[in-house]
């Protein structure tokens, strides 16, 4: 059988068997050591297929997560936190053990302190570990839940959220919620209690959450569920964006003089 015909049949069977990397066997053989036997080459092909599948699955998880941008934990400047958040602690969180233990993280701090950055970084680590993640802006989620209720799709959306190993609720504190939105958000948080992890980023201390929700009793119950056996990170301090702007102005000033 000619080499061309063999190649065509391998491509066809690779597609039918859903092992597409096997179609590139000739490239892998070229990379193999001269003394490689059939077992070595087969192992190379299988490893390439496995790695490609892992990459494809991770890409799907990243797409489903809905991150607004990509920020890794390596890019986070921990010196901004004056030793309050150590590299050892961040590495412990990056292991995603808090997710398997169904613990939550609440990040409290004024704007520009890296809360969303850290939340996304942990979300990326979770995706890489094979976990499902959903990133939601708190205000946008409340609107999404309200619209789903009005369109008879609330149950489906709630199930989708509950299936996620990690839910990230970003920017809790910039928009207040009416009674219906409050109840819908509370149900999302309550349903995940000790069953699924949540990361919440907020610019408000817990004492001011009553400005967000109409029912003080519900606020107390929500905070109780979020903080039970969980991590609360105080990330207050000077805004990173503001400090960068000041540095830029200083450089511009010294240059012009």
Cα 119 from Cα 135, distance rounded (Å):
9
Band the pLDDT of 247: cuts 50, 70, 90. low
Predicted TM-score (pTM) of the model is 0.84
Confidence at residue 257, expressed as pLDDT on a 0 to 100 scale: 35
pLDDT at 250: 55
Q: Is the pLDDT of residue 246 over 60?
A: no
pLDDT at 254 over 70: no
Cα–Cα distances in angstroms (integers) from residue 168 to residues 63, 122, 196, in the given order: 15, 10, 11
Q: Between 3.30.300.180, 3.40.109.10, 3.40.50.300, 2.60.40.2470, what CATH number should domain 73-243 receive?
A: 3.40.50.300
Task: Give the residue among 233, 146, 132, 139 at the shortest CA–CA distance from 192.
Answer: 132
Which burial class, exposed, middle or buried, applies to 125 when counting CB atoms under 10 A from its CB (0-12, 13-18, 19+)? Answer: buried
Q: Where are the beta strands (DSSP E) in 74-194?
A: 105-108, 133-137, 166-172
What pLDDT shows up at residue 3? 76
First to last CA, the chain: 78
What pLDDT band is residue 34 in, cutting at 50, 70 and 90? Answer: confident
| Domain residue limits, the chain | 3-65, 73-243
142 falls in which pLDDT band (50, 70, 90)? very high
- 101-118: pLDDT as tens digits: 999 999 999 999 999 999
Q: In the chain, pLDDT over 90 holds for what percent of residues? A: 71
Looking at the chain, the whole-number percentage of residues with pLDDT higher than 70 is 93
Torsion of CA 249, 250, 256, 257, to 10 degrees: 150
Mean pLDDT of 25-37: 84
Query: Looking at the predicted structure, is the pLDDT value of residue 251 above 60?
Result: no
Q: Which residue has the higher pLDDT, 16 or 254?
A: 16
- Structure confidence at residue 100 as a pLDDT band (50, 70, 90): very high
Task: For CA atoms 76, 77, 80, 83, give the dihedral sign.
Answer: positive
Least confident of 10-19, 142-151, 209-218: 10-19
């Amino acid at each position: 059988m000619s080499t061309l015909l063999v190649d065509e049949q391998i491509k066809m069977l690779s597609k039918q068997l859903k092992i597409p990397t096997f179609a590139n066997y000739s490239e892998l053989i070229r990379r193999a050591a001269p003394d490689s036997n059939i077992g070595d080459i087969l192992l190379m092909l299988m490893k390439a297929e496995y790695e490609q599948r892992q990459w494809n699955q991770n890409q799907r998880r990243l797409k489903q997560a809905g991150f607004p941008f990509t920020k890794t934990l390596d890019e986070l400047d921990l010196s901004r936190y004056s030793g309050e958040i150590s590299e050892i602690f961040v590495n412990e969180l990056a292991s995603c053990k808090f997710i398997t233990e169904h613990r939550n993280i609440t990040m409290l701090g004024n704007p520009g302190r890296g809360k969303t950055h850290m939340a996304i970084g942990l979300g990326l680590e979770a995706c890489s570990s094979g976990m499902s993640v959903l990133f939601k802006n708190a205000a946008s989620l409340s609107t999404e839940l309200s619209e789903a209720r009005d369109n008879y799709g609330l149950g489906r959306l709630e199930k989708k959220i509950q299936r996620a190993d990690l839910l990230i609720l970003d920017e809790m504190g910039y928009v207040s919620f009416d009674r219906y939105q409050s109840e819908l958000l509370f149900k999302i948080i309550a349903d995940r209690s000790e069953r699924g992890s949540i990361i919440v980023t907020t610019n408000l201390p817990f004492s001011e959450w009553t400005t967000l929700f109409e029912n003080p009793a519900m606020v107390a119950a929500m905070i109780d569920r979020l903080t039970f056996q969980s991590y609360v990170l105080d990330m207050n301090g000077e805004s990173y964006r503001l400090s960068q702007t000041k540095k830029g102005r200083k450089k511009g000033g010294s240059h012009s003089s």
